């Protein structure tokens, strides 16, 4: 009986460790892509991101999605066809910035829909927009330091 109890406790401990590792990975990934990499990507693409919310189909809650709050005049996003207020219904913040980071110097593709009031985002007409994500910008040299 004591051996069975030890095995059961071992299994619960293993599941607890696995759950902790999974939560730690999710938090690390969110911090890495959303806090460390996102500002440079937004600057290089000429965009600002936010969240858009609409009532869901059954009016039981809300559907939220990544929104493009602003598009810089002459920036990569504007030249590609994005507009301020567009919604990216297929991505989360982490997956958006992870994909953009991995496509540095290459062509990326995002689906966008018009924002604002109207049907839920997944019922709106999608535009597939292709653009080249600029390579990682070089840090400016500091003058007077070696």
Residue 140 binned pLDDT confidence (cut-offs 50, 70, 90): very low
Superfamily of domain 2-132: PDZ domain (2.30.42.10)
Distance CA 117, CA 56 (A): 12
Main-chain dihedrals φ then ψ at residue 43, nearest 5 degrees: -65, -45
What is the DSSP code (8-state) at residue 36? Answer: I
The 10 Å Cβ neighbour count of residue 28 is 10
Could you tell me the residue ranges of all domains in the chain?
2-132
pLDDT digits (tens, 9 = 90+) for 5-32: 888 888 888 889 898 898 898 888 888 8
% of the chain exceeding 90 in pLDDT:
49
Taking the model in full, what pTM does it have? Answer: 0.77
Here the tokens at position 114 are 């018009």
Task: Specify burial of residue 8 (Cβ count, 10 A radius: 0-12, 13-18, 19+).
Answer: exposed
Residue 31 token pair: 């911090």
Write down the pLDDT at residue 141: 42
Q: What is the model's pLDDT at position 73? A: 95
Judge whether residue 78 has pLDDT over 70.
yes
What's residue 144's pLDDT? 46
pLDDT of 145 over the 80 cut: no
According to DSSP, the residues that pair with 70 across neighbouring strands are 48
Within the chain, residue ranges assigned H as helices are: 2-30, 38-45, 76-80, 93-102
**Does the pLDDT value for residue 95 go beyond 90?**
yes
pLDDT, one tens digit per residue, over 27-58 is 888 888 888 999 999 999 999 999 888 877 77
Mean of pLDDT values over 82-92: 93
pLDDT at residue 85, rounded to an integer: 93
What does the alpha-carbon distance between residue 91 and residue 103 come to, in Å, rounded to a whole number? 15
Tokens of 6: 């030890």
Strands (E), 1-146: 47-55, 62-71, 87-88, 107-112, 127-132
Above 80 in pLDDT, residue 143? no
């Amino acid at each position: 009986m004591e051996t069975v109890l030890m095995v059961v406790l071992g299994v619960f401990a293993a599941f607890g460790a696995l759950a902790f590792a999974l939560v730690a990975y999710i938090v690390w990934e969110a911090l890495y892509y959303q806090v460390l990499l996102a500002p440079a990507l937004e600057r290089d693409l000429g965009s600002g991101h936010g969240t858009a919310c609409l009532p869901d189909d059954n009016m039981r809650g809300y559907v939220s999605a990544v929104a493009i709050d602003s598009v810089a005049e002459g920036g990569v996003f504007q030249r590609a066809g994005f507009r301020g207020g567009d919604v990216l219904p297929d991505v989360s913040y982490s997956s958006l910035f992870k994909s953009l980071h991995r496509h540095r110097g290459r062509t990326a593709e995002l689906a966008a829909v018009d924002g604002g009031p109207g049907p839920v985002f997944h019922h709106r007409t999608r535009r597939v927009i292709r653009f080249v994500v600029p390579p990682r910008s070089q840090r400016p040299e500091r003058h007077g330091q070696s």
